[in-house]
Structure 1
Amino acid sequence: MSDQSISDLASAPARPRRIPVGRLAVYAIALAIGLCLAFAPFLFPDVRAQEVAARICVFIVLVASYDLLIGYTGIVSFAHTMFFGLGAYGTSMALKSWGPGWDAIIIGGGAGVVAAFVLAVLIGMLSLRVKAIFFAMVTLAAASVMMVLANQLSDFTGGEDGFTYQVPRLFSPAFKLLTDADGKTLRFFDVAINGKIAAYYFVFVGSFLLFLFMMRIVASPMGTVLQAIRENELRAEAIGYRVVGYRTAIFCISAVIAALAGVLRAVWLKYVGPEVVLSFAIMIDILLMVVIGGMGTLIGAVIGVVLMSLAQFYLKDLMEVAAEATAGVPLLPELLNPDRWLLWLGVLFILLVYFFPAGIAGTLMKKGNH
């Protein structure tokens, strides 16, 4: 090659790095979901839709924090709802005892987060040295004990029925967040700008900041080490990384984030009970959402939570409409009976796993790289 050719190559502008189409599609879907959630009170003003939107925000944090464990580090834990419940119970018990003040949220929620951190340290230090199946069993036992305690200590937790409480006046629907010259509540797109809007954006902004924090973790050198541990624990240990230390650290971080998600859920719901924050059914939902979205992607949590939540809340209604529309067709209305919605949810899950074996986000990203 001549000196002139080498000079031409050196002076040629660098080609811009192209983002794979699959990855771009995943980012576009997540961005669209994020915008819908950001404007949910105005796009979907009915009470049920706002409850679904707030639940989606909280569960995105909860599922993404679990993905840090199972997707990025290869840790299988069944105690995630325990940490979620500690944050929720800490906040709600303080609000019930001290009244609807910010001090109750900060101190009660903080106590729940600290309790989650301490338990995570104890479980991590004692159990993360053993094989994965034994660690999973330890976390399952811990979660079961917490569920029993919540049911038995009814003087503090309300037992199986749980309890309701008041939240700060800022989050009350009667609170006028913005008013006009006459003192009336301002309306935007025919939606009153009141305390309910403030409560939703408290949950949305809190969830968004926690998700950004987790994105920062996986983009940091720590995220690379976690993936190395997942792929080959022995090689990571041989290179010089303290595997148990990293596994314990991410287990504690994940527990704290789950507890903070519990605080957000308690403030929004104004009710707490074992079935709402501690049940094993929630743990199963978290697992399904991670698998549907794509393990080890973090952003897949956004897609998995939205799909699963919409199916849980609206599939039954959709089937009812479909059954009425096909009333004259033999057998079909019976198959589309709303009481069979769990059957169709199972079929939908099987199809998603078949066509997206690495989850929706994981499969799209892999296809886009080829």
Structure 2
Amino acid sequence: MFRSILSGDMPRSAVLSILLAVIFACLALAPFLFPGVRSIDTAARICVFIALVASYDLLLGYGGIVSFAHTMFFGIGAYGVALALTHMGRGFDAIIVGSVAGAVVAALLALLIGLFSLRVRAIFFAMITLAVASAVAVLASQLSGLTGGEDGLTFKLPRELGPAFKFGTEMFGGELFGVKLNGKLLAYYLVFAGALVLFLLLLRIVNSPFGRVLQAIRENDFRAEAIGYRVVYYRVAATCLSAAAAALAGSLYAIWLRYVGPDTTLSMELMIDILLMVVIGGMGTMYGAVIGATLFVLAQNYLQNLMGAASGLVEGIPVLPQLLSADRWLLWLGVLFILSVYFFPTGIVGRLRSGR
């Protein structure tokens, strides 16, 4: 059964299997295991970034295509939901229309970029995507009448996804294991289910004949072309699928935040974060997206607090309190990244599988 759900792509490592099972259980039961606003927000972000990083790994890890426009597609999906909820009202029909429209627009834009750019060498394609993504980010900042400009858009979700909505009052008294049964809980599980479905779909794609051809093109595009595969068509198709998946992940992010702005969905810093997650987890392994996104988001949210606690413990020892100061958490995050690349050159998943 699990083999079928995972499209035959088993972890192939006992340690990796345990890690994936623990992450899945923690995310599935996050509201009950880790009560608190910050914990649930962290879990929701992990879910969204797992789907986003997996969609980028389809492009980079399996197709060998370097693109800097992935946050653009992510932002298109987020703005699609925001605009639909703003102009159509706070209904589930607006969420569906916004999500589908965002995915379609992202796929069409990826098609245009791919058809005109994927015939050139990788570095030139990367530069073209960077230029297009930068232009879209500038447009989102300047078209304040449509996108809210630098301030972004704040919108209302359907009442059923808001904290004021209560359910289970008759059966459970409005609480289950000390957790309030409200719309915020439903919103979390909507994000969790959406990210899970996206991840499993991407896993199915990379383990299909299409995914095998992509890997062949990544290894040797001249040989793939020689045996009859239209390399450009496969690369364009991969770019469109990756863009649509990223847009759907952006829709989930907008639903969770109830806000969309250039800094949250279109920034270059976010693109760098996605690259780091792919490298840490392992390129060309969908499970790398799970490990990389989980570790990176946890580090972003809790490393500063851990360093503050560590700094207090070594108080009185020369130099160490300054080195472990919470203000230097970005420095240590960079050090951790360098160490992970040095000790895990194929990513954590690649190392675990080879260690088997």
Measure how far apart 1:367 and its partner are.
2.2
Would the alpha carbon gap of residues 237 and 108 (structure 1) be closer, same or farther in structure 2, given more than 3 Å must change? same
Q: Which amino acid aligns with 2:200?
A: L
- The partner residue of 1:158 within 126, 148, 161 is 148
2 CA distance for matches of 1:279 and 1:111? 22
2 CA distance for matches of 1:241 and 1:177? 54
Q: Which amino acid aligns with 2:242?
A: S
Q: Quick check: 1:116 aligned with 2:106?
A: yes
Aligned to 1:86: 76
Instruction: Name the stretch that deviates more: 157-166 or 288-297.
Output: 157-166
Which SS does the other structure have where 2:13 is aligned? helix
Structure 2 counterparts to residues 95-134 of structure 1, below 5 A? 95-134=85-124
- The partner residue of 1:308 within 272, 296, 307 is 296
- The partner residue of 2:160 within 133, 152, 170 is 170
1 CA distance for matches of 2:208 and 2:314? 53
Aligned to 1:358: 346
Structure 1 unmatched runs, 5+: 1-18
2 CA distance for matches of 1:258 and 1:245? 20
2 CA distance for matches of 1:64 and 1:158? 29
Measure how far apart 1:165 and its partner are.
0.8
- The partner residue of 2:272 within 280, 284, 287 is 284
Q: For 1:250-293, what per-residue CA distance to the aligned partner results, in whole angstroms no more than 9, with x for missing partners?
A: 11000000000011111111001000000000000000000000
Aligned to 1:266: 254
Aligned to 2:126: 136
Matched residue pairs, number? 348
Which SS does the other structure have where 2:294 is aligned? helix
Contact 2:11 2:17 in 1 (8 A): no
Q: Quick check: 1:24 aligned with 2:29?
A: no
Which SS does the other structure have where 2:355 is aligned? helix
2 CA distance for matches of 1:322 and 1:80? 36
2 CA distance for matches of 1:311 and 1:106? 33
Q: Which amino acid aligns with 1:334?
A: Q
Measure how far apart 1:20 and its partner are.
10
Contact 1:72 1:223 in 2 (8 A): yes
Which SS does the other structure have where 1:71 is aligned? helix
Bigger Rg over Cα: 1
2 CA distance for matches of 1:74 and 1:205? 29
State the identity %.
Answer: 62
Q: For 1:291-350, what per-residue CA distance to the aligned partner results, in whole angstroms no more than 9, with x for missing partners?
A: 000000111100000111111110000011111111121111111111001111111111
Measure how far apart 1:21 and its partner are.
9.2
Structure 2 counterparts to residues 1-370 of structure 1, below 5 A? 23-180=13-170, 185-368=173-356
Which SS does the other structure have where 1:286 is aligned? helix
Structure 2 unmatched runs, 5+: 1-8
TM-score by length of 1: 0.92
1 CA distance for matches of 2:66 and 2:41? 30
Superposition RMSD in Å: 1.4
Would the alpha carbon gap of residues 297 and 21 (structure 1) be closer, same or farther in structure 2, given more than 3 Å must change? closer
Measure how far apart 1:355 and its partner are.
0.8
Q: Which amino acid aligns with 1:160?
A: E
Q: Segments of 4+ in structure 1 off by > 4 A?
A: 19-22
Contact 1:185 1:192 in 2 (8 A): no
Would the alpha carbon gap of residues 62 and 21 (structure 1) be closer, same or farther in structure 2, given more than 3 Å must change? closer
Instruction: Name the stretch that deviates more: 288-297 or 24-33.
Output: 24-33
Contact 1:177 1:198 in 2 (8 A): no
Would the alpha carbon gap of residues 24 and 218 (structure 1) be closer, same or farther in structure 2, given more than 3 Å must change? farther
Q: Which amino acid aligns with 2:142?
A: Q
TM-score by length of 2: 0.95
Q: Which amino acid aligns with 2:107?
A: F
Q: For 1:160-188, what per-residue CA distance to the aligned partner results, in whole angstroms no more than 9, with x for missing partners?
A: 1112110011101111121126xx85212
Measure how far apart 1:24 and its partner are.
2.8
Q: For 1:97-153, what per-residue CA distance to the aligned partner results, in whole angstroms no more than 9, with x for missing partners?
A: 222111211112222111101101101111111100110011001100110000000
1 CA distance for matches of 2:76 and 2:330? 29
